[in-house]
Amino acid sequence: MDRLEAMAMLKELVANNLVDLSFVNICENKPNQYQVQIKCDYNGKEIEEYARRNGLTIEEDKEKKYFLIFKP
C-alpha cells in the first residue's frame, strides 16, 4: 500500500480503538510500498479480522512482539 493508504488504515484502526499508539510504526518495505507495524499484545484478534476484511496480509515478527500489516 502507498503511504496515504497506510496512514488512512492507521487512522481507521485508532478510530475503532483497535490499536494503542504506544507502539505503531509506518515503514517502507519496498520502494513506495509501506507497511504498518503494531505491538502484538493489543486487540490481536480484532486487528487480524480487520486485515482479513480489507484484503491485507498480517504477519508476526520472529519474536512475536509485533504485527506487520501490508498489501500482498
- Alpha helices for 17-71 (secondary structure H): 44-53
Residue 65's pLDDT is what? 84
Asked whether the beta carbons of 9 and 3 are under 8 A apart, the reply is no
Residue 54's pLDDT is what? 92
Asked whether the beta carbons of 66 and 40 are under 8 A apart, the reply is yes
Residue 4's pLDDT is what? 93
Supply the pTM of this predicted model. 0.78
Q: Which of 49, 53, 57 is nearest to 18 (CA)?
A: 49
Q: What is the pLDDT of residues 5-62, one digit of tens each?
A: 999 998 998 888 888 777 888 989 889 899 998 887 767 788 889 999 999 999 988 8
> CB within 8 A of 60, min separation 6: which ones?
40, 66, 67, 68
Residue 62's pLDDT is what? 83
